[in-house]
Structure 1
Amino acid sequence: MNKNSVIGDIVDLKLSQMGATQITKLRSHMYIVDFTLENGMKVSYVFNITKHDKYFLQRMRPYAMVQGKYADTKEITKFIKEDLRRFRTAEHSSNFEEFVDVSRKGVELSHKLEDLFLHYNVDKATLDEMQGTLTRMMLHLEQLQHQLSPVEPEPCKKQTTQS
């Protein structure tokens, strides 16, 4: 029996004692994949492949973002290839570092919101104020998408050319 199995069994026991209603063990392989952009920034992905050939993908760097579940290796590699292509295009923007910083702050915002709600008694008025602020921010982002010129056409949309 290897050390990982023993540690896993200990964690399972402790979680059961805490009242876990179900613990599912999946035999899987985890992959961490790093790419380096021209500017030296790393783009990293983590994905698991289970014995049932199910895939779960996350981008870890330059900022964390869950990408979701995929059916097969073709979907995983297709996503990563397209994601990297977009990062390689974006890295030539004069605002690339600022964009990455804003994105990291978005992830940090999520963590701070969770910390606030799990550790403090937030009153309804404060919650309503936060909801309004976040709603305005989301609307602002949607408006920007309609106002700004895209770097490239969206791959899903069919392009039409004028003669």
Structure 2
Amino acid sequence: MNANTVKGDTIEARLRCLGANDVQQVQGTLYFVTFDISDCEVSYTYNINAKNKYFLQRIKPYPIPEGIFSNEGQVVEFIKRDLIKFENAHHSHNFSKFVEVTQMIQTTTKEMETFFLNYNVDKECLDQLLEDLETIQRTIRNAKSRSEHIIV
């Protein structure tokens, strides 16, 4: 018996004890792909699920789910376009700041989840957070409206 199967069965049993209605074991395949663009590493992970669909996620320089694709050609085409965009963006003087801001947003998302799941957040705090986020979104919209759009 495979050690991964035993671990999977143990986790499944524990999840059922927690009240899980359904736990499905899916025969999938997981891949990691890494590219070097100058001094920047861009990497992805994708898995093929039981329905032969491809779930793709960029993991570096910052994690973001990219979606579900029907076939490997779509995955390759997406990554190809994404790499061209990163190559182009890497030439910007602001690239390192862009990555820093994006990583801060990822950290903030995790901190927000921890905050909301572990604390009783008052309305005043929530209102302030919404106001601050609306300001950030407005700043992004304004910057987009006055910036040149790059077509790839």
Structures share fold, TM-score greater than 0.5: yes
1:147 matched residue in structure 2: 146
1:116 matched residue in structure 2: 115
Shift of 1:51: 3.4
C-alpha distance in structure 1 between counterparts of 2:17 and 2:3, whole Å: 21
TM-score (norm 2): 0.96
Q: Counterpart of 2:14 in structure 1: which amino acid?
A: K
Q: Which runs of 5+ in 2 are unaligned?
A: none
1:81 aligns with 2:93: no
Q: Which runs of 5+ in 1 are unaligned?
A: 156-163
1:53 aligns with 2:52: yes
1:17 matched residue in structure 2: 17
3-state SS of the aligned residue for 2:73?
A: helix
1:131 aligns with 2:130: yes
Q: Counterpart of 2:95 in structure 1: which amino acid?
A: F
How many equivalent residue pairs? 152
Q: Counterpart of 2:63 in structure 1: which amino acid?
A: A
C-alpha distance in structure 1 between counterparts of 2:131 and 2:98, whole Å: 24
C-alpha distance in structure 1 between counterparts of 2:74 and 2:100, whole Å: 28
TM-score (norm 1): 0.89
3-state SS of the aligned residue for 2:148?
A: coil
Q: Counterpart of 1:111 in structure 2: which amino acid?
A: K
3-state SS of the aligned residue for 1:86?
A: helix
C-alpha distance in structure 2 between counterparts of 1:125 and 1:51, whole Å: 46
2:4 matched residue in structure 1: 4
Shift of 1:52: 2.4
- State the superposition RMSD in angstroms: 1.1
C-alpha distance in structure 1 between counterparts of 2:51 and 2:138, whole Å: 40
Q: Counterpart of 2:126 in structure 1: which amino acid?
A: L
- Deviations along 1:15-42, one digit per CA (max 9) or x if unpaired, are 000111111211000000000111x211
Identity %: 34
Over 3 Å off, 4+ runs: none
